[in-house]
Amino acid sequence: MPCSRDGCEIAVSDNGEAGLTTERRNNEERQQHDTDPSSDEESRYRETTDYRALESCKESLLSALEVLKSDSSFANISGINNFRDPGLIVDDKGPISLPLTRSDAHRIIAASHQAPFGRYAETIVDTSVRQTWEINSDQFRFHDHGAWQQLLSMLLPAVCDMLGISEELPNISAQLYKVLLYEKGALFKPHKDSEKVPGMFGTLVVCLPSAHEGGDIVLRHGGDMKSFSTASCQPSFAAWYADVLHEIKEVTFGYRLVLTLNLVKTTPNVGKFAIGVCTTAFIRRARPGTEVLVAARTQ
Residue 113 and residue 249: Cα distance in Å, rounded? Answer: 20
CA terminus-to-terminus distance, the chain = 61
What integer pLDDT is reported at residue 194 of this predicted model?
85
What integer pLDDT is reported at residue 293 of this predicted model?
30
Nearest of 162, 160, 151 to residue 78 by alpha carbon: 162
Count of C-beta atoms within a 10 Å radius of residue 121 = 5
Mean pLDDT, the chain cut into blocks of 10 residues (299 residues total)? 45 46 59 56 70 79 61 88 96 95 97 92 92 97 96 92 71 93 98 90 96 97 94 94 96 98 78 40 30 30
What integer pLDDT is reported at residue 119 of this predicted model?
83
What integer pLDDT is reported at residue 126 of this predicted model?
95
SS3 154: helix
What integer pLDDT is reported at residue 73 of this predicted model?
87
What integer pLDDT is reported at residue 118 of this predicted model?
84
Residue 141 and residue 183: Cα distance in Å, rounded? Answer: 22
Question: Which DSSP string do the residues of 252-297 spell out, in sequence order?
Answer: EEE-EEEEEEEEEE--S-GGG----TT--EEEE--BTTB--EEEE-
Which pairs count as long-range contacts for 227-232, CB under 8 Å and 24+ apart, including other chains? 228/75, 228/77, 230/77, 230/256, 230/258, 232/79
**Domains, in order of start, for the chain:** 1-35 (no CATH), 75-272 (2.60.120.620)
Residue 62 and residue 14: Cα distance in Å, rounded? Answer: 55
SS3 64: helix
Residue 6 and residue 18: Cα distance in Å, rounded? Answer: 15
Question: Which DSSP string do the residues of 35-51 spell out, in sequence order?
Answer: T-HHHHHHHHHTTSHHH
What integer pLDDT is reported at residue 216 of this predicted model?
97
SS3 205: strand
Identity of the amino acid at 178: K
Q: Are 203 and 261 in contact (CB under 8 A)?
A: yes
Which DSSP state fits 137? G
**Who contacts 5 (Cβ-Cβ below 8 Å, separation ≥6)?**
none
